[in-house]
Amino acid sequence: MHLIIFDLDGTLVHSDRRDSNYFAQAYETIYQRPFPTIDWTRYPHVTDTSIFQSVVAQHFERSTTPEETTVFQQYYMDLLEEGRRQMPDHFQTIPGAPAMMARLHDMPDQYHTCLATGGWHAPAKIKLQHVSLLTDRLPIHAADGKITRESILSEAIETAGGADKFAKIVYIGDAEWDVTTTRNMQLDFVGIRWRGDREVLREAGATQVIENFLDLEAFFQALHLATPPAELQEYVKKLSFEDCA
């Protein structure tokens, strides 16, 4: 049995950064302060919880409360839903994703699937539902109450039965932070870069990178060949969150 864990944004669904802009818009509307950046690499951790807490701490020098997190999430979700009502065609699946998922679900004795996203759970459901990928056969593990992507992936693995249950665990993601997370955890990784430069992930250490899910043979071959990302040969210094404030 293999455990296949999917990222969401850029991996199964594509919004051309519109959803990121909705996150920033929600913040600016509620707090009346400029949102620093939607370049998520500038934040301590690439999760909705970390990003939200970091920006509030920068502007107000305090922690967030559960109540204000709920208010922010609801406003953000309202924007997500309104955007999908007004421009439904601007929010798409990555090509081949529905057929790929159906193929995996047709082999339950070989593959167990789940989702591990750095976003929050309720917004993730909105995104999946819009493209008809919301299903009980793809359990969602999200950033609610979690700061790091490693903690989200760890929860996904433990909930599925633990690492010892599976002959192979593969995470599929589209971003450099997905490479970093799987390297930290020594998990096999397959990168996907639709409308993007696949060399970005290869240079970050990914050994298997695909463009989309249209070629199912290539997808399953990538799963078979997937390894943990290679160690970087040189350290690439990232700007800190404070540098972009």
CA gyration radius for the chain? 18
Any idea which residue has 């979690």 for tokens?
Answer: 146
DSSP string for 145-208: T---HHHHHHHHHHHTT-GGG-SEEEEEE-SHHHHHHHHHHT-EEEEE-TTS-HHHHHHHT-S-
- Residue 36, C-beta contacts closer than 8 angstroms, at least 6 positions apart: 42, 55, 58, 241, 244, 245
Contact 226, 167 (CB under 8 A): no
- Strand, coil or helix: what is 8? coil
Per-residue pLDDT tens, the chain, 245 aa: give them.
999 999 999 999 999 889 999 999 999 999 999 999 999 999 999 999 999 999 999 999 999 999 999 999 999 999 999 999 999 988 999 999 999 999 999 999 999 999 999 999 999 999 999 999 999 899 999 999 999 999 999 999 999 999 999 999 999 999 999 999 999 999 999 999 987 788 999 999 999 999 999 999 999 999 999 999 998 753 344 435 555 55
d(CA 143, CA 149): 8
* 119, 74 contact by CB (below 8 A): no
Give pLDDT, residue 245: 53
CA distance 221 to 207: 12
The pLDDT value recorded for residue 235 is: 35
**Which structure tokens are listed for 29?**
């509307």
Q: Dihedrals φ, ψ of 92, to 5°?
A: -125, 165
Closest CA to 172 of 129, 90, 117: 117
Q: Is the pTM of this model over 0.85?
A: yes
Superfamily of domain 2-14+92-225: HAD superfamily/HAD-like (3.40.50.1000)
Q: Which residue type occupies 239? A: L
Q: According to the model, what pLDDT value does residue 242 have? A: 52
Count how many Cα atoms sit within 13 Å of the Cα of residue 148 in the half-sphere of its side chain: 10
